[in-house]
Chains A and B, each alone.
Chain A
Amino acid sequence: MLEIRNLRANAGGKEILRGITLTVKAGEVHAVMGPNGSGKSTLAQVLAGHPAYEVTGGEVLYQGQDLLAMAPEERALAGVFLAFQYPVEIPGVSNAYFLRAAYNEQRKARGEEEIDPIDFMDLLEQKVRMVEWGPEVLSRPVNAGFSGGEKKRNEILQMAVLEPRLAILDETDSGLDIDALRIVADGVNKLRRPDNATIVVTHYQRLLNYIVPDYVHVLAGGRIIRSGDKSLALELEARGYDWLTGAGAAA
């Protein structure tokens, strides 16, 4: 589904990603871990096409297509979804209106008619239940006045509505209490299917108790320095990043 080959990217003239290579297949969950400043969030943003990052080398194939040549909205319409680390507030625009606009853009991209508003409300109510929320959240403005945890949960609600092929969760666990963490993780697990894939970017192992990854990659200094299965995450939890970053520097 996704093939990242030797990807390099700058932010503000500084090289952040220094050659990332990673393959993600349909049905898989990959965790990308690493200390602060290792380039985890940059990787997520570059895959989504944020204009603040400049790709300086390498390539990314998504379902055989050149992902880096696509505009951010084209990537979204092709099924790439980024759950933001810092979701943005859109005052005055209700969640329901926003979700319907996004949902209809996807239908249009597939050459389908816009969804009937009443049918869409039925669909929304079902998705809202999936993240253990009440329908009142639909009339609230997008993220405006939301707590940190509510914003993260709102990202998962959007993901549930848009049903992406490739979901990238950027530090979705940061700032969540244990109940919110469980709700968010449950939401993600319910959305797992054999034909979609998830990249979970996180600093802590905690989230991986709930969303069990098939592969764990450790990022440091803009490179993947170690890959393994879920036991790698547990080892990191026990021994800290220094254990690997020291090794990485030597290698």
Chain B
Amino acid sequence: MGSEVESLVNREYKYGFVTDIESDVVPRGLSEDTVRLISEKKGEPAFMLDWRLKAYRRWLEMKEPHHWANIQYPAIDYQNIIYYSAPRTKKPLGSLDEVDPELLRTYEKLGISLTEQKMLAGVAVDAIFDSVSVGTTFKKTLAESGVIFCSFSEAVREHPELLRKYLGSVVPYNDNFFAALNSAVFSDGSFVFVPKGVRCPMELSTYFRMNTADAGQFERTLIVAEEGATVSYLEGCTAPKRSTNQLHAAVVELVALEGATIKYSTVQNWYAGDAEGKGGIYNFVTKRGKCAGARSKISWTQVETGSAITWKYPSVILQGDDSIGEFYSVAVVNGRQQADTGTKMIHAGKRTRSTIVSKGISAGQGNNSYRGQVKVLPKAEGARNYTQCDSMLIGNRCGAHTFPYIDVQNSSASVEHEASTSKIGEDQIFYLKQRGLNTENAISMIVNGFCKEVFKELPMEFAVEAQKLLGITLEGSVG
């Protein structure tokens, strides 16, 4: 594949603009004082500060996990990061009527309207700008059915009993280096609580935007679905183009009680850096769900197209008998992007089932690794897993790797793993061109076909968005 493709590459990152807004920024660097300052700024109760400090002290003893992931990057200077940045406003944030118009314009530009009348019907949004939530839509409508959907800060103030019960119950503060860091300094995020027997009446979504240079974004999301409850949640992310790297270390915890279903979808489009690999987001994220009750179900769907580095393994602990875990993933790397992503399915309960479908696409000089663990514990009688892991290569300078770990401790379990690697061929592209499609449309069609099994898991609006995004990310990657 020749130069025709190469020359087409790298269309402008559409979301790379910066919002000019005055921010309340804490000085660079991290110490116990920084942690206290963040907690104080948020007016948190004592239990929250204690939890943060425990996490911070544990983090100091931990080492960055540099050895096992198939990614390369220079050491991160944790003292050169800004840990808290909030748009400065005269009035308190949280009420959409009073949000700075500049912020509303930012979200309009990103295609997210925060005006309820203009919004997509049936989707409620929590908008997070740097370290804080600027507002959550449809709160009242949701409250009528008993659903709580608010910023994490608000949840700490308004629902401390729920947080005490569930915070850290799936991802403990000492889980891993980045989770511990997040637990110490997290600034905001979303909280969802769907009470017993309630089917959440609309899609919930959070839109994350990083704006301030050198600021890290450390958000935390906690979703709890009580017995028989159902909820579908979407997450979208963008950041301005900057020549320095920005750290994003989030934690997401999902708890599904008996018979509950949580569907969590992500379209990640953080700035990926330029063609030479300068700038871009370092995306180190811990996402885990617990099927705590029998017959519960947690389904992760992710479309990862952005970030200079992606390090994330949305996982499910299948504790309840007959519970179900799913992971559907599309990860695309182009330019110099690196992704090491996959999942863990931990089968503890009887007759638990998990499905993993991973589609990795590598173009340019990108490097894509699937890393997945399927673990069947001794008591998981009759557990079943099916894993399908496909890689597609575009061009000659990219890489695709697969690292499956399978650990079965119960002889009645059945675990299947299928893997394939293919290359977009000149013949495939020529075939479509002979039918009148140009190179870009041909590649887009081939790649979208490759990802179909994952895209069909996404909510409708997101599926269309994801297809377009894929086209843009791969633009000019082949000739």
Contact A88 B428 (CB under 8 A): yes
Q: Give the segment of B156-164, B223-231, B450-458 that binds chain A.
A: B450-458
Q: Contact flags (1/0) for A91-106 with B, using CB distance below 8 Å? A: 1110000100110011
Q: How far is the CA of A76 from the CA of B452 in the complex (A)?
A: 27
Contact B449 A84 (CB under 8 A): no
Contact B436 A92 (CB under 8 A): no
Contact A102 B430 (CB under 8 A): no
Interface membership of A195, Cβ < 8 A = no
Contact B449 A92 (CB under 8 A): yes
| List of A residues within 8 angstroms of B433 by Cβ | 49, 71-73, 76
Contact B448 A102 (CB under 8 A): no
Query: Contact residue range for chain B?
Result: 20 to 34
Interface membership of A82, Cβ < 8 A = yes
Q: How far is the CA of A4 from the CA of B426 in the complex (A)?
A: 26
Question: Distance in Å from the Cβ of B471 to the closest Cβ of chain A?
Answer: 13
Interface membership of A42, Cβ < 8 A = no
Q: How far is the CA of A45 from the CA of B423 in the complex (A)?
A: 22
B426, B436, B453: most-surrounded residue (chain A CB, <10 A): B436
A77, A82, A92, A109: most-surrounded residue (chain B CB, <10 A): A92
Contact B437 A93 (CB under 8 A): no
Question: Distance in Å from the Cβ of A94 to the closest Cβ of chain B?
Answer: 9
Contact B435 A162 (CB under 8 A): yes
Q: Which residue of B lies closest to A106 (CB)?
A: B436
| List of B residues within 8 angstroms of A160 by Cβ | none
Contact A76 B428 (CB under 8 A): no
Q: Which residue of B lies closest to A82 (CB)?
A: B434
Interface membership of B427, Cβ < 8 A = yes
Q: A90-B445, A141-B449 known; A102 and B437 CB under 8 Å?
A: yes
| List of B residues within 8 angstroms of A90 by Cβ | 428, 431-432, 445-446, 449
Q: A90-B449, A92-B451, A98-B445 known; A158 and B435 CB under 8 Å?
A: yes
Question: Distance in Å from the Cβ of B409 to the closest Cβ of chain A?
Answer: 35
B431, B438, B445: most-surrounded residue (chain A CB, <10 A): B431
Question: Of A76, A92, A106, which contacts B453 at CB under 8 A?
Answer: A92
Contact B436 A87 (CB under 8 A): no
Contact A73 B438 (CB under 8 A): yes
Interface membership of A52, Cβ < 8 A = yes
Interface membership of A193, Cβ < 8 A = no
Interface membership of A50, Cβ < 8 A = yes
Chain A count of residues within 8 A CB distance of the other chain: 29
Contact A76 B448 (CB under 8 A): no
Interface membership of B10, Cβ < 8 A = no
Q: Contact flags (1/0) for B440-479 with A, using CB distance below 8 Å? A: 0100011011111100000000000000000000000000
Q: Which residue of A lies closest to B430 (CB)?
A: A50
Interface membership of A220, Cβ < 8 A = no
Q: How far is the CA of A158 from the CA of B450 in the complex (A)?
A: 22
Contact A73 B448 (CB under 8 A): no
Q: Contact flags (1/0) for B417-430 with A, using CB distance below 8 Å? A: 00000000111101
Interface membership of A51, Cβ < 8 A = yes
Q: A76-B436, A93-B448, A101-B437 known; A88 and B431 CB under 8 Å?
A: yes
Interface membership of A48, Cβ < 8 A = yes
Question: Distance in Å from the Cβ of A80 to the closest Cβ of chain B?
Answer: 8
Q: How far is the CA of A19 from the CA of B479 in the complex (A)?
A: 29
| List of B residues within 8 angstroms of A76 by Cβ | 433-436
Q: Contact flags (1/0) for A147-160 with B, using CB distance below 8 Å? A: 00000000000100
Question: Distance in Å from the Cβ of B435 to the closest Cβ of chain A?
Answer: 4
Q: How far is the CA of A185 from the CA of B452 in the complex (A)?
A: 34
Question: Distance in Å from the Cβ of B423 to the closest Cβ of chain A?
Answer: 13
Q: How far is the CA of A50 from the CA of B453 in the complex (A)?
A: 31
Q: A93-B446, A98-B445, A141-B449 known; A88 and B427 CB under 8 Å?
A: yes
Q: Which residue of B lies closest to A141 (CB)?
A: B449
Q: How far is the CA of A92 from the CA of B448 in the complex (A)?
A: 7
| List of B residues within 8 angstroms of A91 by Cβ | 449-450
Question: Distance in Å from the Cβ of B358 to the closest Cβ of chain A?
Answer: 15
Question: Of B426, B431, B435, which contacts A52 at CB under 8 A?
Answer: B426
Q: How far is the CA of A105 from the CA of B292 in the complex (A)?
A: 51
| List of A residues within 8 angstroms of B430 by Cβ | 48, 50-51, 72, 88
Q: Which 3 residue pairs of A and B lie closest in terms of their CB atoms, listed nearest first?
A: A92-B449, A93-B449, A92-B452
Q: Which A residues form the contact surface with B (CB < 8 A)?
A: 48-52, 71-73, 75-77, 81-82, 84, 87-88, 90-93, 98, 101-102, 105-106, 109, 141, 158, 162
Q: List 25 A-B contacts (CB under 8 A).
A: A48-B434, A49-B434, A50-B430, A71-B433, A72-B433, A73-B433, A73-B437, A76-B434, A76-B436, A82-B434, A88-B425, A88-B427, A88-B428, A88-B430, A90-B431, A90-B432, A90-B449, A91-B449, A92-B448, A92-B450, A92-B453, A109-B436, A141-B449, A158-B435, A162-B435
Known interface pairs A88-B427, A90-B431, A90-B445; 11 further A-B residue pairs with C-beta atoms within 8 A, sorted by A's residue number: A48-B434, A50-B430, A51-B430, A52-B426, A76-B435, A82-B434, A84-B431, A88-B425, A88-B428, A92-B452, A102-B436
